[in-house]
Chains A and B, each alone.
Chain A
Amino acid sequence: MSLARVFREHPERRYIMYGGKGGLGKTTFSAATAYWLAKQGKKVLVFSVDPQASLTDIFEQDIFGKGPVEIMPNLYAQEIDADRHIAEYQEEIRGKIRDMYGFAEIPEEIESYIQAAAAEPAMEESAIFDNVVDIIVGGEYDYYIYDLVPLGHALYYLSMASVYDEWIERITSLREEMEEYSKVAALLERKEETEEDQILAELQDIRYRINMSSSILTDNEKTAFFFVIIPEEMALVDTQKAATKFAKFDVPLIGYIVNRVLPAELADEDIPPYLENRIEMQREYLAKIDTIFGDQVLTRVPELERDITGLDMIARIAEKLFGGEEI
């Protein structure tokens, strides 16, 4: 099975994610996949859910907090500016309070709560999580490519999704129960109508958003998740551990891509022992990777002579990643 074939055989998988340890090539492959799809006429958005995003670096264009930026025809990239999103969100809450109660100033206690909430450690991730919903609900792209955060963080992101699910379900059902009591009281007092519970309406909207965001992460039909690994001990061990944990969250893992493979033909040349040792080491781990993951290994991508930035280099890596195949 090749990576191109996965795309060819499952066109309904429109949400593409690359996961793995930090610095192994997630952003590179996200950009390369976006490039490959865009070249074939698919409208693609590659966006980052990482507060320390690197799409700006790989495309050599400042896109931070600018919404979807067109990199080339059909290829759009976006980096979410979480801080700005939070600031706008706080202002929206303040505006609502002022409008609802005709306050000129927000009461001090409420204001300090708004500020304290924004300083919570989970706030940045939550803001990005929520922003992703807006991106996806828009639905104007053929493919959405998530440039994910490194492993540990991605697990945190996933568990956040399931905690949110749980939280919102319970709170909404409590609120629904409260609504029942209001109705009973209104009925006994023979009031014609009860006031609509605005909190319940908000909760239902929040529930919709949370479900939307977290269901995509676990949707076997629409989502394809790929692990990026390199032929080294640590990466291999960590990836195996992570794969087990990801499986618990029902992430639709499609396969593994091995990155940074030293070209085998180098071994035939006259090379220093340093390089010889590294090639030998990689050969060992490549065999191990094949034994462990079998035909889930989709492709091997060679280490290039320089780092991957700019569209020319992205094009080269896309060529290696998809082996020149088309969708």
Chain B
Amino acid sequence: MTHEERRAGLVRRWGRSAKDFLYGMAGHDMTRYALKTRGSMEHLFILITMGDLLGVPILPPYYSLRLLPYVVPQISTWKRRMLRERDLTDALA
């Protein structure tokens, strides 16, 4: 490896680190927020389409069934979230 190449590699690594650093400073929180909101909405969505699983009657079951295959993996976490007890620490999350 020549001196030039080593320098270029170093600059690239620096550049990447700087980018990651900036992303951590500014972008990461926003990404987390977007994903968290998306997650909450996912659970809301399952509630209004599959609420029958919790005993909340939902109209119309016919078309809900068509969505069922896609939400199979989320159903257990969703039920856990909907049915768990809540306390003060929820407000801090």
Q: Which residues of A contact B (CB under 8 A)?
A: 89-90, 93, 96-97, 100-101, 107, 109-110, 113-114, 116-118, 120, 122-123, 126-127, 129-130, 160, 163-164, 167-168, 171, 174-175, 177-178, 181-182, 184-185, 188-189, 198-199, 202-203, 206, 210
Residues in B35-93 with C-beta less than 8 Å from chain A:
35, 37-38, 41-42, 44-45, 48-50, 52-53, 59-73, 75
Interface SS, B side: helix
A171 CA to B53 CA in the complex, in Å?
A: 18
Cross-chain contact of A174 among B44, B50, B61, B69 (Cβ < 8 A): B44
Per-residue A-contact encoding for B21-35, CB less than 8 Å = 1, 0 else: 001000100110011
Interface SS, A side: helix
Q: Which residues of B contact A (CB under 8 A)?
A: 23, 27, 30-31, 34-35, 37-38, 41-42, 44-45, 48-50, 52-53, 59-73, 75
Cross-chain contact of A181 among B38, B52, B65, B68 (Cβ < 8 A): B38
Q: Is the CB of A110 within 8 A of B41?
A: no
* Contact A185 B66, CB 8 Å, known A123-B61, A167-B59: no
Complex contacts, B70 vs chain A, CB 8 Å: 100, 198-199, 202
Complex contacts, A123 vs chain B, CB 8 Å: 61-62
Q: Which residue of B lies closest to A181 (CB)?
A: B38
Q: Is the CB of A182 within 8 A of B72?
A: no
Complex contacts, A167 vs chain B, CB 8 Å: 59-60
Q: Is the CB of A113 within 8 A of B49?
A: no
Q: Which residue of B lies closest to A124 (CB)?
A: B62
* 30 A-B contacts (beta carbon < 8 Å): A93-B69, A97-B69, A107-B72, A113-B52, A113-B53, A113-B68, A114-B65, A114-B68, A117-B52, A117-B65, A118-B61, A120-B62, A122-B60, A163-B60, A167-B60, A174-B41, A174-B44, A174-B45, A178-B45, A181-B34, A181-B35, A185-B35, A188-B34, A189-B27, A189-B31, A199-B45, A199-B71, A202-B66, A206-B63, A206-B66
Q: Is the CB of B34 within 8 A of A185?
A: yes
Cross-chain contact of A93 among B45, B60, B66 (Cβ < 8 A): B66
Complex contacts, A199 vs chain B, CB 8 Å: 45, 67, 70-71
- Cβ distance A261 to chain B, nearest Cβ, rounded Å: 41
A31 CA to B45 CA in the complex, in Å?
A: 45
Q: Which residue of A lies closest to B64 (CB)?
A: A117
Q: Is the CB of A110 within 8 A of B62?
A: no
A175 CA to B37 CA in the complex, in Å?
A: 12
Complex contacts, B34 vs chain A, CB 8 Å: 181-182, 184-185, 188
Complex contacts, B60 vs chain A, CB 8 Å: 122, 126, 160, 163-164, 167
A174 CA to B47 CA in the complex, in Å?
A: 12
- Cβ distance A247 to chain B, nearest Cβ, rounded Å: 24
Q: Is the CB of A175 within 8 A of B45?
A: yes
Complex contacts, B75 vs chain A, CB 8 Å: 109-110
Complex contacts, B30 vs chain A, CB 8 Å: 184, 188
Q: Which residue of A lies closest to B26 (CB)?
A: A188
Q: Which residue of B lies closest to A160 (CB)?
A: B60
A193 CA to B72 CA in the complex, in Å?
A: 24
A181 CA to B65 CA in the complex, in Å?
A: 25
- Cβ distance A68 to chain B, nearest Cβ, rounded Å: 23
Q: Which residue of B lies closest to A182 (CB)?
A: B38
Cross-chain contact of B45 among A109, A171, A182, A210 (Cβ < 8 A): A171
Q: Is the CB of B61 within 8 A of A120?
A: yes
Q: Is the CB of A101 within 8 A of B41?
A: no
